[in-house]
């Protein structure tokens, strides 16, 4: 082998190693952005029947996250993917793997009437155990072209209450904020506080949380 060929192979090998390092690090960062608090315990994948059921609603599935369903009724699977609906976009559904047939527990399309959730992305989804034999699913959206300081939506689904709670941030012309909750009363404190934390988050909430008319946990 000539010196030129040896040099060429060495350069190619070095570039391949560098490329693999960059891609690997980027992949880890993207996964952390998309799956900020995935359940890390050793849980089984969604049964084929549950995945097949989910594909009635989702054209593609980005990831699946299982949690114990309240009351010990098996597992609930959170699916995130591209919606089958004519509107497209990202969609989240929760499917229970029951003994008889899969059951749809929650669908982010229930928020489709809310203009504050017209736009959303992969990193808009989060989920976590709520510490009370249940879990929560949170979803962030915004009005089109108002995803900075404009009109932001924050939703929380509780498996324990089987209810969805929503908070809106509206930015006024003077730069101040108006916060509205739905329902406007009766939201359990633990979920109201979680909505407040979402709205106060420097990365996903208001750009200047100090101007929010609510008490942020980090103040």
- Under the banding of pLDDT at 50, 70 and 90, the label for residue 133 is confident
How far apart are alpha carbons 23 and 30 in whole angstroms?
10
What is the mean predicted confidence (pLDDT) over 83-112?
92
pLDDT digits (tens, 9 = 90+) for 36-75: 344 444 456 899 999 999 999 999 999 899 999 988 888 9
- pTM, 2 dp: 0.77
Residue 124: pLDDT band (50, 70, 90) is confident
- Whether the per-residue pLDDT at 176 is higher than 80: the answer is yes
Give the pLDDT of residue 87: 79
Strand 58-68, strand 125-129: pairing? unpaired
Degrees (nearest 5) of the Cα angle 55, 110, 92? 40
Query: Model confidence over 146-173: pLDDT tens digits?
Result: 888 899 999 999 999 999 999 999 999 9
- Give 180's pLDDT tier (boundaries 50, 70, 90): very high
Q: Are 172 and 146 in contact (CB under 8 A)?
A: no
What DSSP character marks residue 177?
E
Those residues whose C-beta lies under 8 Å from the C-beta of residue 209, and which sit 6 or more positions away, are 199, 200, 201, 202, 216, 218, 219
d(CA 125, CA 109): 13
Question: Would you call 148 exposed, middle or buried from its count of C-beta atoms within 10 A (0-12, 13-18, 19+)?
Answer: exposed
CA angle (147 as vertex; 124, 142 as ends), nearest 5: 60
Q: Worst-scoring range by mean pLDDT, 15-29, 127-141, 180-194?
A: 15-29
Residue 211 and residue 48: Cα distance in Å, rounded? 48
- Tell me, what's the pLDDT at 31? 34
CB 181 within 8 A of CB 167: yes
What pLDDT is stored for residue 55 in this prediction? Answer: 97
Report how far residue 23's alpha carbon sits from residue 15's, in angstroms, rounded to the nearest whole number.
Answer: 12
Q: What distance in Å separates the CA atoms of residue 190 and residue 151, rounded to the nearest whole number?
A: 24
Average pLDDT over residues 200-208: 89
Task: Flag whether pLDDT at 88 surpasses 50.
Answer: yes
Find all residues with CB under 8 Å of 190, minimum gap 6, and list them: 130, 132
User: What pLDDT shows up at residue 99?
Assistant: 81
């Amino acid at each position: 082998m000539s010196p030129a060929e040896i040099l060429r192979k060495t350069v190619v090998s070095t570039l391949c190693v560098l490329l693999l390092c960059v891609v690997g690090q980027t992949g880890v960062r993207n996964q952390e952005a998309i799956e900020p608090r995935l359940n890390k315990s050793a849980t089984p994948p969604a049964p084929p029947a549950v995945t097949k059921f989910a594909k009635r609603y989702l054209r593609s599935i980005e990831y699946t996250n299982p949690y114990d369903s309240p009351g010990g009724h098996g597992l609930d699977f959170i699916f995130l993917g591209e919606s089958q609906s004519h509107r497209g976009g990202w969609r989240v559904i929760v499917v229970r793997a029951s003994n008889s047939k899969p059951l749809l527990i929650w669908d982010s399309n229930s928020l489709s009437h809310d203009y504050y959730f017209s736009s959303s992305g992969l990193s808009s989804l989060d989920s976590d155990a709520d510490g009370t034999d249940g879990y929560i699913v949170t979803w962030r959206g915004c009005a089109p072209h108002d995803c900075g300081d404009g009109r932001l939506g924050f939703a929380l689904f509780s498996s324990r209450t089987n209810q969805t709670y929503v908070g809106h941030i509206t930015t006024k012309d003077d730069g101040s904020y108006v916060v509205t909750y739905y329902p406007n009363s009766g939201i359990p404190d633990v979920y109201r506080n979680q909505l407040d934390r979402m709205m106060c988050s420097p990365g996903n909430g208001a750009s200047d949380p100090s101007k929010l008319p609510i008490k942020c946990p980090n103040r």
